[in-house]
Amino acid sequence: MSWNVYIRGYQNYLQIEKSLSKNTVDGYCRDIKKLNNFFNGNDDKKKIEDVNYQDFQNYLSYLNDLKINARSQSRVISSMRSFFKFLILEKIIKENPTELLENPKTGKKLPEFLTIEEIELLVNQIDRSKKEGERNLAIIEVLYGCGLRVTELIELKISEIYWEEGFIRIIGKGNKERLVPLGKIASKHLKIYLNEIRVHQKVKDLFVDHVFINKNGSKISRVMIFKIVKKLTEKAGIQKNISPHSLRHSFATHLVEGGADLRSVQEMLGHQSITTTEIYTHLDKNYLKQAILDHHPLEKIKMDW
């Protein structure tokens, strides 16, 4: 069978058996299609059963020549490992040629984030005299106040807001559910938007439960969220490369700097591994030192002396 047949099978496997999000599935399959093009874009056709370790090394050298950075190469290697594990499960191949591949070394890049003062400056640029102003304010406050991903924000449902308990229910990456605290400020502006603006909008049947709606009655798009944040950043004169994801980074950074427990931050962000959350400890050089002073038994003994 052709590569395309296997790729379609792999796509179904990721969607149905692994329950991965559409964006993740699309990313994995896109990487494998590019691999297919590399092997079969010339006269020398490469059957999937014949691909070996050296072929992958050649492909990675090709990516190097294209100046693809180490982080992107690591993602490609992850996609290839996943695809060939699927082929093993389906008994299409007997040995996995990706097992010996090593990820390129990547330095931990600190994410771009805003200070509390810059968050306030951003919010102050919103024109609340316009209908979309209240919506945009609620968007910024929820992104920052709850640390949501953009996809999680646009898929947020009215039925998943628990006002009395002060939580929102989020379906994150890998279809994993988590409850995120809804702070007083975010809650206040959500209520204003829902009760004073959205209630008067005509909403298409498919999106009646979605919180954030565009002027056409459909759920707001990712592109629109990016445009809103970009425009506010420019108006505020903030000289940083800010995106909606920067508000999520700001949420985590300010929690860690304020002394929040790293495990709690991990739960609120929906990180599968604590190592993903640990990057935020680098933003506050005193975090680890203070953790030792506060919790290590020998330090406590010294304090008692």
**How many angstroms separate the CA atoms of 33 and 21, rounded?**
18
Q: Is residue 8 annotated as a catalytic residue, yes or no? A: no
- Tell whether the model's pLDDT for residue 169 goes beyond 50: yes
Q: Is residue 245 annotated as a catalytic residue, yes or no? A: yes
Mean pLDDT of 147-155: 92
pLDDT, tens only, 8-58 = 999 999 999 888 888 899 999 999 999 988 887 654 577 888 888 888 888
Tokens of 97: 């040629």
Q: Which residues contact 186 (CB under 8 A, 6 or more apart)?
A: 138, 141, 142, 144, 145, 146
Q: Is residue 71 annotated as a catalytic residue, yes or no? A: no
Point out the catalytic residue in the list 6, 135, 149, 254: 149
**CATH for 116-291, among 1.20.120.420, 1.10.4160.10, 1.10.443.10, 3.40.50.300?**
1.10.443.10
Point out the catalytic residue in the list 46, 245, 282, 287: 245
- Widest Cα–Cα separation across the chain: 78
Point out the catalytic residue in the list 173, 178, 235, 282: 173
pTM as predicted: 0.62
Domain ranges of the chain: 3-89, 116-291
- Give the DSSP H or E segment for 162: strand 161-162
3-state helix, strand, coil in the chain (%, to 5): 60, 5, 35
pLDDT, tens only, 193-224 = 999 999 999 999 999 999 999 999 999 998 99
Tokens of 177: 């559910």
Point out the catalytic residue in the list 198, 248, 249, 254: 248
Question: Which range has the worst mean pLDDT, 90-104, 129-143, 228-242, 259-273?
Answer: 259-273
> What per-residue confidence (pLDDT) applies to 288?
47
- Tell whether the model's pLDDT for residue 152 goes beyond 80: yes
In words, the CATH class of domain 3-89 is mainly alpha
Q: Is residue 248 annotated as a catalytic residue, yes or no? A: yes
Dihedrals phi, psi of 45, to nearest 5 degrees: -75, 140
**How many angstroms separate the CA atoms of 179 and 185, rounded?**
18
pLDDT, tens only, 285-299 = 444 455 445 655 554
Mean pLDDT of 266-290: 66
